[in-house]
Structure 1
Amino acid sequence: MDEKEKLRIDKYLWSIRLFKTRTLATDACKAGRIKLNGQNIKPSYEVKIGDVFHVSKGIERKQVRVTGLLHSRADAKTVINFYDDITPEEETLGYKSMFHAPTLKRDRGTGRPTKKDRREIDDLISDEDVKSQE
């Protein structure tokens, strides 16, 4: 294989802007957050066109198909030509709905919650946990 046809997975993920630094991409591979066919892969894995990777970044999950090899970091408009985001729409919507969850706010200066207030807060939090598990 020619040197231009070889590319490490950590460098690829960094160059297509899925990770801010190459070190973060390497750490994600070592931690098992990058998978190919359900298998954890090492940072030195050589990327091939057509590979489909499952990338977990915090609560965000992505599925990425390699369409081209990019050897250096480029701007966002150029990067789009080197991968396809094939993440199912259900997962994408689930990730976005996490940000629209109700939040608890108390008026400033009201002091500590009473025992009754605390029970209501606990009930509200447990209801949110049940909804997020469904």
Structure 2
Amino acid sequence: MNAMRLDKWLWAARFFKTRTLASEAVETGKVKLGGEHVKPARNLRVGDKLLIDNGSDSWEVGVLGLSDKRGAAPVARLLYAETQASIARREQTAEERKLFREPGSTIKGRPTKRDRRQLSKAGDHS
């Protein structure tokens, strides 16, 4: 296999949970191939450089292998190599998240009554 669809590779490399999410990310410009916006069906080859933003993290990776099967995470990590700059940036972002957490960042969806009480309690200390 010399080339494969970009959205399928993103799914197999475990950057997105489904191919639909991977496809939507490519269409909305959150995934760039060589710094350019591309379509989900674009052929990906070994050696290509990708910029991937899945909402919570962003990666800059080089493609090392192609696979159309979604396997375990350790196997998926063999499909790409993250750049040192990308690793440093993600570690710094993670450290910043640890030091300063948004009061409502842990709440998913609409806050419950308990969540609202905790948010107002956190705001009263100012």
Counterparts of 2:43 and 2:50, CA distance in 1: 12
Q: Which runs of 5+ in 1 are unaligned?
A: 122-134
Q: Report if the CA contact (8 A) 2:34-2:48 is conserved.
A: no
1:47 matched to 2:44? The reply is yes
What TM-score, normalized by structure 2, do the two folds share?
0.74
What TM-score, normalized by structure 1, do the two folds share?
0.70
Identity over aligned pairs, percent: 28
1:64 matched to 2:61? The reply is yes
> Residue 58 and residue 98 in structure 1: after superposition, are their counterparts in 2 closer, same or farther (change >3 A)?
farther
> Residue 103 and residue 42 in structure 1: after superposition, are their counterparts in 2 closer, same or farther (change >3 A)?
closer
Q: Report if the CA contact (8 A) 2:7-2:23 is conserved.
A: yes
Greater strand percent: which structure?
2
Q: Which amino acid in the other structure matches residue 97 of structure 1?
A: E
Q: Which runs of 5+ in 2 are unaligned?
A: 104-115
Aligned length: 110
Runs of 4+ in 1 over 2 A off after TM superposition: none
Q: Secondary structure at the match of 1:28?
A: helix
Counterparts of 1:103 and 1:24, CA distance in 2: 26
Q: Report if the CA contact (8 A) 2:12-2:70 is conserved.
A: yes
CA RMSD in angstroms, aligned pairs only: 2.6
Q: Secondary structure at the match of 1:35?
A: strand
Q: Computing the radius of gyration over CA atoms, which structure comes out larger, 1 or 2? A: 1
